[in-house]
Amino acid sequence: MRLLTPGPTTIPEQVLSKFAEPVIHHRTALFEEIFKQLQSQLRWLFQTEQPVLSLACTGTGAMEATVVNLFSPSDEVITVNAGKFGERWTKICKTYGLTVHELMVERGKSVELAALTALLDAHPHVKAVLFQASETSTGALMPVEAIVTHCKKRNVLSVCDGITAVGIFNLPMDRWGIDVLITGSQKALMLPPGLAFIALSERAWKLAEQSQLPKFYFDLKRERKMQDKLQTAWTPAISLIQGAVVALKMLQDRGHEAAFKHHECLAHATRSAAKALGLEFFASSPSPVLTTVKVPPQILEGKKIVKRMLEKYGVIITGGQDELEGKILRLSHFGYTDIFDVVTGIAALEMALLELGYPVELGKGVGAAQKAFQEFK
Amino acid sequence: MRLLTPGPTTIPEQVLSKFAEPVIHHRTALFEEIFKQLQSQLRWLFQTEQPVLSLACTGTGAMEATVVNLFSPSDEVITVNAGKFGERWTKICKTYGLTVHELMVERGKSVELAALTALLDAHPHVKAVLFQASETSTGALMPVEAIVTHCKKRNVLSVCDGITAVGIFNLPMDRWGIDVLITGSQKALMLPPGLAFIALSERAWKLAEQSQLPKFYFDLKRERKMQDKLQTAWTPAISLIQGAVVALKMLQDRGHEAAFKHHECLAHATRSAAKALGLEFFASSPSPVLTTVKVPPQILEGKKIVKRMLEKYGVIITGGQDELEGKILRLSHFGYTDIFDVVTGIAALEMALLELGYPVELGKGVGAAQKAFQEFK
């Protein structure tokens, strides 16, 4: 079965085989050595000098950790709701009694800076802007650097959900001045889900000192103190940490630039294929993470395409969620993935589309992907 | 390296090899089939008809989930603090603004029912008693059935941390009327850490309906609703769930009675060995989970024994934590463990003790363990 989904992504064989090795005990020098290596790898991944904390949870846990560690009841924040994941920031902040100014963004669109600055102007007491680097539910890329720059100017914290972004495209935390950056294990890190990573800027750590919201499992100050001793506050997800060191070594061997270029190339190939097949793009500023296309009018129900690809061809792509259910297709192209995964995905898509009544010249999309790949510079 | 620790425990080869298999996508019929099987296995494990929820976190996360889902600010609870883990209940409850009546229990002792009932009498508005089935930091077994019975009589909820207990000794949730029971993956379930399991009685679910504490990642009502659809609220720890089905099948093949008897037998063998070596027991009502002994006066620092066993012999036992640091040794005997693990552990202990100046006749403890094992009925 082939995973062309925005997480979990395919796990490399050398990482999978690591999981077949015995799990070590976490209160040992051996664990501490591994954990030390992971920390340096994560700082490389996040492009930061700050500690990157490892939490035994999935990405949503790290989003909640951010909120409960930075804020106090009735603090004002702005959330950028450009899709399901932006909406999640809103929900978490409201759960904890924050005053949330939600910037609604049309599905498939990127946030407009003018709208954001207007909202910042209207609410001078806002402490942070919470947003996604890539809104994976729509495929839209957000203008991270510009958002961060605007936040910095106003002394507002920038909180970036990079769950499906870190390691896929460039998000230099320190250089851009991102105040909080998070990611999850089952994305660019090519691991099973169950680990989340989070880094805070000095400014964010200062705000964390004043936070009055309750936290225990997700207490980042405690986690940081323990991490300084090469330990975790609670029992860590040891096997995932053992695997993470192997996966991150692979990422390091390739290097950031090559990885970012690779993902851009696969995005370009996928988009060339979709275009050749006459499919209409959904996201206006598409992210290198995934390509979203509208379900063609000849096929009313997008779910049928996803189902056919899975059941007949063993290729998993994802459809739309919530209000986009059945309306879009999401083709991912990141992680342990190369041009031949794109070829496979497009080939399966072509066959499924044809079988469901959409006119396709078989191989046309595949050829376009190959051509785009060869010509990519 | 041999793990004779109260978690993580050794993972069976057939479970480890499962982790080398590709991770499946969680929004598929295949995952739902696996997850359905896991749910039925977990109900068997917990001896309950209630749903047992799977959370992507370690045990402490499930403890916090319990507190934030059952209670409201300033609710009154009793926590049984018989060690580090009981103290954790207190800390979590206080973090969330509950009024906590803490029943302090001398380290190594079990809770006295008279003290508990007196505290219940003194505080008629208490909503729940939170306790451990086995206080793993001291090795003391708690009188779970009696605590639950007392709670039921007074219409007070019984919240049992069974993290290092479920699957090791008998805790029939429904029959005894335990209101909340939790466990973690890296204990009797023979899995890596990263999954926690929790079940609530009907009474507990009713209380959860009224809870006013904030929760998002640990929202059990949401989790239950999703589980009814064979899904999880957030991305599940898929690989651990795939492994859990294999591990639980092994437990089911053995059956509860055989497993409980097996652990009692290993406890008996370990204790016979410790006695033969002249070591003094620390816990007065010892749990079948582990045997705690005092560090002999000839060796001032208990840490030296643990260190020697690890570094020279590759056998990991644990010492005391916090105020018990250096004062006790904790020898675990549960999970994927048999008499030969006990033999190994005792043999390593004998050699380490001798080398550190404690008089030992090599093989005496081992022989006593063997004899106890053979004679155990």
- What is the ipTM metric for this complex? 0.94
B60 to A217: CB separation less than 8 angstroms, yes or no: yes
Mean pLDDT, consecutive 10-residue segments, chain B of 377 residues? 83 95 92 98 98 98 98 97 98 98 98 97 98 97 98 97 98 98 96 98 97 98 97 96 98 98 97 98 96 94 94 94 94 94 96 96 98 96
B64 to A216: CB separation less than 8 angstroms, yes or no: yes
A237 to B239: CB separation less than 8 angstroms, yes or no: no
Per-residue pLDDT band for A126 (boundaries 50, 70, 90) equals: very high
Can you give the pLDDT at residue B342? Answer: 96
How open is the CA angle A56-A61-A73, to the nearest 5 degrees? 130
Q: Which of B1, B56, B310 sits opposite A193 (nearest CB)?
A: B56
A234 to B60: CB separation less than 8 angstroms, yes or no: yes
Cis peptide before A297 (omega within 30 of 0): no
Kindly give, in sequence order, each residue whose CB lies less than 8 Å from that of residue B112, ignoring residues fewer than 6 positions away.
B105
In chain A, % of residues over pLDDT 90: 96
Residues of B in contact with A59 (CB under 8 A): 234-235
Can you give the pLDDT at residue A6? Answer: 85
Kindly give, in sequence order, each residue whose CB lies less than 8 Å from that of residue A135, ignoring residues fewer than 6 positions away.
A82, A83, A84, A85, A86, A142, A287
Can you give the pLDDT at residue B193? Answer: 97
Interface of A with B in 116-175 (CB under 8 A): none
**Tokens 């999850």, residue located:** A184
Per-residue pLDDT band for A40 (boundaries 50, 70, 90) equals: very high
In chain A, % of residues over pLDDT 70: 100
Q: Which of A95, A184, A316 sits opposite B216 (nearest CB)?
A: A95
Residues of A in contact with B16 (CB under 8 A): 19-22
Q: Which of B1, B186, B234 sits opposite A58 (nearest CB)?
A: B234
| Domains with residue ranges and CATH for chain A | 10-254 (3.40.640.10), 256-375 (3.90.1150.10)
Q: Which residue of B19, B315, B322 to mutate against A (max A Cβ within 10 Å)?
A: B19
Interface of B with A in 51-70 (CB under 8 A): 56-61, 64
Q: Which residue of A2, A54, A57 to mutate against B (max B Cβ within 10 Å)?
A: A57
B316 at interface of A, judged by CB pairs closer than 8 A? yes
Interface of B with A in 323-352 (CB under 8 A): none
Can you give the pLDDT at residue A368? Answer: 98
Interface of A with B in 77-116 (CB under 8 A): 91-92, 95-97
In angstroms, how far is the first alpha carbon of chain A from the final one? 31
- Kindly report, residue by residue over A244-298, the tens digit of the pLDDT: 999 999 999 999 999 999 999 999 999 999 999 999 999 999 999 999 999 999 9
Residues of A in contact with B84 (CB under 8 A): none
Can you give the pLDDT at residue B4? Answer: 82
Per-residue pLDDT band for A1 (boundaries 50, 70, 90) equals: low
Can you give the pLDDT at residue A2? Answer: 78
Closest approach of B244 to chain A, Cα-based (Å): 14
Can you give the pLDDT at residue A68? Answer: 98
Residue ranges in chain A assigned as alpha helix (H): 13-19, 29-46, 59-70, 84-95, 113-122, 144-153, 173-176, 202-210, 220-228, 238-254, 256-276, 302-313, 339-355, 364-375
How open is the CA angle B210-B213-B214, to the nearest 5 degrees? 120
- Kindly report, residue by residue over B345-375, the tens digit of the pLDDT: 999 999 999 999 999 999 999 999 999 999 9
B58 to A56: CB separation less than 8 angstroms, yes or no: yes
Q: Which of B28, B30, B56 sits opposite A58 (nearest CB)?
A: B56
How many alpha carbons lie under 13 Å from residue B258 in its C-beta half-sphere? Answer: 7
Chain mean pLDDT for chain A: 96
Can you give the pLDDT at residue B6? Answer: 85
- Three-class SS state of A286: strand
Cα dihedral sign for A371, A373, A376, A377? negative
Beta bridge partners of A78: A101, A129
Q: State the pairing for strand pair A76-81/A128-132.
A: parallel
Please compute the mean of the pLDDT values over residues A181-197 and round it to a whole number: 97
Can you give the pLDDT at residue B1? Answer: 65
Cis peptide before B8 (omega within 30 of 0): yes
Q: Which helix (H) or strand (E) holds A184?
A: strand A180-184
B216 to A1: CB separation less than 8 angstroms, yes or no: no
How open is the CA angle B288-B289-B294, to the nearest 5 degrees? 95
CA B222 to chain centre: 25
Q: Which residue of B67, B191, B234 to mutate against A (max A Cβ within 10 Å)?
A: B234
